[in-house]
């Protein structure tokens, strides 16, 4: 599965989805924190698994929380929390952002090399689906001693994050009507 570097990089598109930047005060810090949480939310099955299964954090990782079916449910909860702090937010866009970040996380995990797959349509179809096409190298939790694997993950996800940042800035400049090649 990709690391928080790749998943977290997707928040770069938040301003485009929202149509505006969150407030530039303490409320904005909360909103940005929630946006980052939304990008990482499916991986919170790891601490839940530790509590339920007595320390086996990765036994069910990628199962019940990595479902596209749960994305709109998460989006609705995300909207409810964001509106508490940012009443003037565009509600449809906030819902779309929360749903989108959750769903993109699941899809990123689907496109990871040598993955066990994800339960894409849990609870309707609980089987894991693995994709033969790999975009991400992913983090190898079971082979924690493989420094080469971790370095490869850091480099590829760092490049991915940089590309997402620059693409988001480019799109933001386009939306604002700035000359791109000035």
pLDDT (mean) for 156-171: 94
Q: Is the overall model pTM greater than 0.85, yes or no? A: yes
Question: Is residue 181 one of the residues assigned to a domain?
Answer: no
Give tens-digit pLDDT for 91-136. 999 999 999 999 999 999 999 988 888 999 999 999 999 999 988 9
Give tens-digit pLDDT for 106-116. 999 999 988 88
Rounded to an integer, what distance in angstroms lies between the CA atom of residue 11 and that of residue 37? 10
Rounded to an integer, what distance in angstroms lies between the CA atom of residue 39 and that of residue 56? 23
Question: Is residue 86 one of the residues assigned to a domain?
Answer: yes
In the chain, the number of structural domains is: 1
Q: Which domain range does residue 166 map to? A: 4-176
Question: Is residue 94 one of the residues assigned to a domain?
Answer: yes
Question: Is residue 36 one of the residues assigned to a domain?
Answer: yes
Question: Is residue 182 one of the residues assigned to a domain?
Answer: no
Closest CA to 169 of 16, 6, 2, 37: 16
Q: Going by C-beta distance under 8 Å and a sequence separation of 6 or more, which residues neighbour residue 9? A: 157, 160, 161, 164, 165
């Amino acid at each position: 599965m990709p690391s928080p570097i790749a998943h977290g990089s997707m928040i770069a598109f938040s301003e485009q989805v929202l149509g505006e930047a969150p407030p530039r005060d303490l409320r904005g810090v909360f909103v940005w924190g929630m946006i980052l949480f939304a990008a990482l939310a499916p991986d919170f099955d790891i601490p839940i698994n530790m509590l339920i299964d007595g320390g086996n954090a990765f036994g069910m990782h990628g199962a019940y929380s990595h479902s596209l079916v749960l994305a709109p449910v998460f989006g609705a909860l995300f909207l409810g929390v964001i509106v508490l702090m940012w009443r003037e937010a565009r509600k449809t866009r906030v819902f779309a952002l929360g749903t989108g970040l959750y769903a993109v996380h699941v899809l990123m995990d689907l496109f990871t090399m040598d993955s066990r797959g994800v339960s894409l349509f849990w609870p309707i179809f609980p089987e894991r689906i693995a994709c033969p096409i790999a975009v991400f190298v992913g983090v190898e939790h079971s082979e924690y001693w493989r420094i080469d694997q971790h370095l490869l993950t850091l480099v590829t996800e760092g490049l991915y994050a940089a590309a997402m940042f620059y693409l988001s800035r480019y799109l933001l400049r386009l939306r604002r009507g700035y000359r791109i090649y000035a």
